[in-house]
Structure 1
Amino acid sequence: MNSQAPHSATLGADIRALRKARGLTLTEIAARLGRSVGWLSQVERDKSDPSISDLRQIAECLGVPMSMLFAHSSAPADEQGYVVRAGTRRPMGSGEEGLIEELLSPDLTDDFEMVHSTFKPRSKMQTPANRPTQEVGYMVSGRLELTISGRQFSVGPGDSFRIKHEPYQWSNPYDEPAVAIWVIAPPVY
């Protein structure tokens, strides 16, 4: 058995997957960064390590929180790309709206991503989102109020819902946290 980590578990592979999911070329990103295509190609192939400033600019170009690029796997080599342990999930986003998200997928190289979302009590999405994605959510616990394409829904434990490139907004007006598992295609984080 090969004990080396598969290439898909790397920072470079995640950067490449995010770039491709956004339909951006190496040339476009390199120009935005003020770097050469060769340098960016080396970063994507894990032949060059970007600085903190580089990572900040790359995250901005890709529209992801910097934590997404920082928090890379501490899984044993034989589990990288296959298993994500509960204590080693990558955090995503700032959490400022009361939403705490963690990546359940081992990396971002698949056609979809899985996300564990915890909605704090009395929290609300401030601005509706409309992403070029197809998303399915499954409620593990608590309740959420959803608005999808202007329609109101209340969902609770065991319920699931779908959003297909439509404007949506969520709120948790209740005193208990709500937990949902999301599958999002293509990956956006």
Structure 2
Amino acid sequence: MHQSDPTKPRTLGADLRALRKARGVTLSDLAERLGRSVGWLSQVERDLSEASVNDLRHIAGALDVSVSLLFGHTAAPAAEAGHIVRRNARRQIGSDAAGLVEELLSPDLTDDFEVVHSTFAPHSRRGEIIERPTQEVGYVVSGQLDLIISGRPFSVGLGDSFRIKNEPFEWMNPYDEPAVVIWVIAPPVY
């Protein structure tokens, strides 16, 4: 049986496997959705085969993640891989269409949680209720953010923290300054 080498840097394949497993999707289910063989998908997850740009778009859609998360995979220097994420090497995730810019602070997606640096633009709002089977904790680094968690309104600011535990929520920044939040999400959703 293939053993994972803890000194080997995490890769796109490892992230794909972690995302698939976090969503409870089997290799055969995902392969069927993609119209590809289980063997091919297994090789992609083990970095023995490369997925085309089109394949990555289909995989992102099937796993409900942004394509930018998969394309933004930059290898860290070997001595830092799996341990350090440099400020200029963060992977941008999600879409800033609603005024939210998110960067992955975790080295990869293979942990039981992910840490995200979220910047909410002034006068931005998601515009829809977010529902996901996660436990999330946020810490406000700067600015102020309004949340509606299970229908209850909250306003959080510098130094405040909050938890969302498998509850529907919305966010909005009706203020003149950006809000920066460090967000911990378990299991990973990106």
TM-score (norm 1): 0.96
Root-mean-square deviation (CA, aligned residues, Å) is 1.2
Q: Give the Cα separation in 2 of the matches to 1:82 and 1:73.
A: 14
Q: Is the 8 A contact 1:136 1:162 kept in 2?
A: yes
Matching residue of 2:109: 108
SS at match of 2:96: coil
Instruction: Report the equivalent of 1:20.
Output: 21
Cα distance change, pair 31–7 in 1 and its aligned pair in 2 (3 A): farther
Structure 2: stretches of 5+ with no match in the other structure: none
1:14-53 alignment, distance < 5 Å: 14-53=15-54
| Shift, 1:9, TM fit | 1.4
Name which of structure 1's ranges 43-52 and 74-83 shifts more when overlaid on structure 2. 74-83
Residue 66 (structure 1) aligns with: 67
Which residue is 1:135 aligned to? 136
Q: Displacement of 1:75 after TM fit?
A: 1.7
| d(CA) in 2 for partners of 1:127, 1:7 | 40
1:186 equivalent in alignment to 2:187: yes
Distance in 2 separating the partners of 1:22 and 1:8: 23
In the TM superposition, what are the counterparts of 1:139-178 in structure 2 within 5 Å?
Answer: 139-178=140-179
* Structure 1, 67-76 or 43-52: larger mean CA deviation: 67-76
The equivalent residue for 1:89 is 90
| Pairs aligned (count) | 186
Task: Supply the AA of the counterpart residue of 1:110.
Answer: D
CA contact (8 A) 1:137 1:162 kept: yes
Q: CA deviation digits over 1:57-102, x for unaligned, max 9?
A: 0000100000111111232111111100001000011200000000
Equivalent residue for 1:76?
A: 77
**C-alpha contact 1:5 1:77 (8 A) present in aligned 2:** no
Instruction: Indicate if the aligned counterparts of 2:9 and 2:78 stay in contact, CA closer than 8 A.
Output: no
Matched residue type, 2:99: G
* Gapped regions of structure 1 (runs ≥ 5): none
Instruction: Name the TM-score, length of structure 2 as normaliser.
Output: 0.95
SS of the residue aligned with 1:83? coil
Separation in 2, partners of 1:101, 1:175: 19
Q: Which piece of structure 1 moves more, 5-14 or 114-123?
A: 5-14
Structure 2: distance between partners of 1:46 and 1:149:
41
Structure 1 stretches of at least 4 aligned residues deviating more than 6 Å after TM superposition: none
